[in-house]
Each structure stands twice: as structure tokens, then as C-alpha cells.
């Protein structure tokens, strides 16, 4: 199922911003290693710079200790990737496509036709897709739809993709 172009994350925009954002994060880390940042002045400058570059509220990102999470490269990608925008006329098929993307992990092939940037960061689009669903589906609830469930005997189970779409679609 090939999605509409409007459903695809704007990876070209992320790629344009990525190098500058990554360099800024690494420069901040180097500055802190050398001089410290006890008054958070350099942190505030970095946050302002990243907000100006991305248009995002940077407070939702961990700029202090990115090495404790996914690394500077993934952090820079997540900041560089624009947030999803509200679309009109979203269909059940569109929602099913997004749910399927979240439930599928494929290693990029070395000779794939996708650009290298897309190959590298395709595994880190989960936040984007969850934000897209939250924006388009009134009943979006990560834990209830994508989280683990337990039956009365304590056996763990997850909803199927079709069940997830059923919960998301009728209450758009």
C-alpha cells in the first residue's frame, strides 16, 4: 500500500536542517566539557537557536544528556524533522498505513532506492507517526492502543493492527 505523498514525513526538510542542528548540539557539548554551563546561558542560546531552526518547542527534548538516550545523531534528526500537520480527508486506509508503519521495522537494504539519509533514519520515525495519529485521531491513547495488555491470567498480549485501526478510526 503506497501512501499519499502528504502522509509521508518531510524527510527532505529534516535532511536540510540536520547537519546544522547536529553541529550545534555537539558544539554545546564540547563547550560544556571545556567551560561548564552552570548558569545555563549556553543551554538557553542552544535552545533558542534550535527553536529558530526547527520551529519546535525544544523543551520536549533532552539537550543536557542526549548520550543517555539515543545519541546526538538521532536527537538532531528528531529536532530537524518537522512536526506533522493536520490534513483534511484522512481515510481509514491512511490511518492503517501509519499503524502498519509503526508496527514494522525493516533494515534498509544497501542498494535501496531511497536516499541514504532516509535509510539511516527510517527507524526513528516513531515519534512522528505517533504525533500524526494523536493529531488526527481523537481516541489516540498510546498505552491503550499500542501498549501491552494483560488478561485475567496475567498473560501479556497486544492489539493487532486491525484492532488498533478500529479503535482509532470511528472516533476521528
Alpha helices in the chain (DSSP H): 11-35, 41-54, 72-80, 92-102, 116-121, 126-136, 142-146, 161-168
Per-residue pLDDT reduced to its tens digit, 85-118? 999 989 999 999 999 999 887 665 666 666 689 8
Q: Give backbone dihedrals phi and psi of 16, rounded to 5 degrees, phi first.
A: -65, -40
Beta bridge partners of 156: 150
pTM: 0.87
Domain regions of the chain by residue span: 11-80, 85-168
Quick: pLDDT tens for 35-61.
999 999 999 999 999 999 999 999 999
Q: C-alpha distances in angstroms, 37 versus 26, 75, 76, 91? A: 14, 20, 20, 49
Amino acid at each position: 500500500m503506497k501512501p499519499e505523498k502528504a502522509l509521508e514525513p518531510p524527510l527532505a526538510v529534516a535532511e536540510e536542517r540536520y547537519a546544522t542542528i547536529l553541529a550545534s548540539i555537539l558544539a554545546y557539548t564540547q563547550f560544556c566539557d571545556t567551560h561548564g554551563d552552570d548558569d545555563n546561558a549556553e543551554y538557553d542560546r542552544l535552545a533558542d537557536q534550535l527553536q529558530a531552526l526547527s520551529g519546535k518547542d525544544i523543551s520536549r527534548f533532552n539537550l543536557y544528556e542526549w548520550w543517555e538516550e539515543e545519541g546526538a545523531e538521532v536527537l538532531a534528526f528528531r529536532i530537524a524533522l518537522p512536526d506533522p500537520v493536520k490534513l483534511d480527508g484522512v481515510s481509514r486506509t491512511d490511518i492503517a498505513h501509519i499503524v502498519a508503519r509503526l508496527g514494522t521495522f525493516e533494515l534498509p537494504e544497501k542498494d535501496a532506492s531511497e536516499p541514504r539519509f532516509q535509510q539511516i533514519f527510517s527507524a526513528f520515525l516513531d515519534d512522528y507517526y505517533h504525533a500524526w495519529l494523536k493529531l488526527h485521531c481523537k481516541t489516540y491513547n498510546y498505552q491503550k492502543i499500542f501498549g501491552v495488555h494483560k488478561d485475567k491470567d496475567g498473560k501479556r498480549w497486544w492489539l493487532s493492527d486491525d484492532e488498533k485501526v478500529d479503535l482509532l478510526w470511528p472516533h476521528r
